[in-house]
């Protein structure tokens, strides 16, 4: 009986320390003397791609949202009388398919800068639009669907060391993410203007042409909330993982 209790205690301790005292098993460490640190880090991120997509980081990480699909409750675009739109229940697919095209590392200063490609972003939402076009007050509510190809993003990561109980740990500053809009393959709003003027299809085409030719017209205001939320998610993931292991365990000698 005592042996069973002792074995149970030992396995419970092992399970506990694996959750709270060591790096999660899906983290591939990169020794500081790695000849090509950038490639090592990119391979480590690649090994986490499925986990980033599903959000299944294991015990202690339940609150981290998944990237596939990425969800935003609402975004408001425009605050003028001539244009105002509110997008709700926004689902973005394709975020986990990112490609790291270039990564610069500075281990001495703990700086990491990446150029990332997003081959395709598929965005669906509900919309509520109030628009003044050629003197006509037009309104519409319905579904929005946009597909954007080959967007690019710049990612800047900065970290600092701190001492906790005699050991060095890492703390990451808020990630900086900036997305450059790519080619808009599709941009549709169902029930545009509720069929007003009996020519909703005409105004749909006008709006679609405007979005394709001048994507900054709308997306310059849509992307910043997405960039901010992604920054907060990645920073939270990095710092929660960094708290489970020392600097020497993350980047061993």
What is the pLDDT, as a whole number, of residue 207? 66
Contact 87/222 with Cβ under 8 angstroms? Answer: yes
What is the pLDDT, as a whole number, of residue 10? 33
Tokens describing residue 40: 């090592």
What is the pLDDT, as a whole number, of residue 59? 76
Is the pTM value of this prediction over 0.85? no
Q: Distance between CA atoms of 56 and 42, rounded to whole angstroms?
A: 20
The CATH number assigned to the domain holding 218 equals 3.15.10.30
Tell me phi and psi for residue 189, to 5 degrees.
Answer: -125, 115
As averages over each run of 10 residues, the pLDDT of the chain (253 residues) reads: 37 35 77 91 90 83 81 79 82 92 94 95 90 70 90 94 93 93 83 59 66 66 81 87 88 88
What is the pLDDT, as a whole number, of residue 17? 35
CB-side exposure of 241: number of CA atoms within 13 Å? 20
What is the pLDDT, as a whole number, of residue 42? 93
Domain around 189: 2-250
What is the pLDDT, as a whole number, of residue 158? 96
What is the pLDDT, as a whole number, of residue 214? 65
What is the pLDDT, as a whole number, of residue 37? 93
Q: Which of 111, 99, 67, 55 is nearest to 230 (CA)?
A: 67
What is the pLDDT, as a whole number, of residue 240? 85
Cα dihedral value 172, 95, 122, 227, nearest 10: 10
The total number of structural domains in the chain stands at 1
């Amino acid at each position: 009986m005592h042996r069973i209790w002792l074995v149970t205690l030992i396995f419970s301790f092992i399970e506990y320390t694996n959750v709270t005292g060591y790096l999660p098993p899906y983290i591939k460490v990169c020794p500081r003397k790695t000849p090509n640190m950038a490639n090592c880090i990119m391979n480590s991120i690649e090994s986490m791609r499925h986990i980033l997509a599903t959000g299944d980081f294991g015990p202690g990480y339940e609150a981290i949202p998944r990237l596939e699909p990425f969800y935003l409750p609402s975004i408001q675009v425009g605050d003028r009388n001539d244009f105002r739109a509110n997008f709700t229940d926004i689902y973005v697919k394709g975020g986990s398919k990112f490609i790291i095209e270039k990564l610069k590392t500075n281990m001495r200063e703990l700086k990491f800068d990446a150029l990332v490609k997003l081959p395709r972003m598929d965005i669906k939402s509900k919309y509520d639009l109030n628009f003044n076009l050629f003197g006509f007050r037009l309104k519409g509510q319905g579904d929005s669907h946009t597909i954007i190809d080959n967007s690019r993003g710049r990612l800047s990561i900065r970290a600092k060391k701190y001492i906790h109980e005699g050991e060095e740990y890492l703390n990451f500053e808020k990630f900086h993410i900036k997305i450059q809009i790519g080619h808009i393959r599709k941009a549709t709003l169902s029930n545009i203007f509720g069929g007003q003027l009996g020519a909703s299809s005409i105004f749909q085409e006008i709006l679609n042409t405007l979005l394709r030719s001048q994507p900054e017209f709308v997306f310059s205001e849509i992307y910043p909330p997405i960039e901010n939320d992604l920054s907060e998610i990645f920073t939270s993931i990095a710092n929660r993982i960094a708290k489970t292991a020392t600097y020497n365990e993350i980047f061993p000698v």
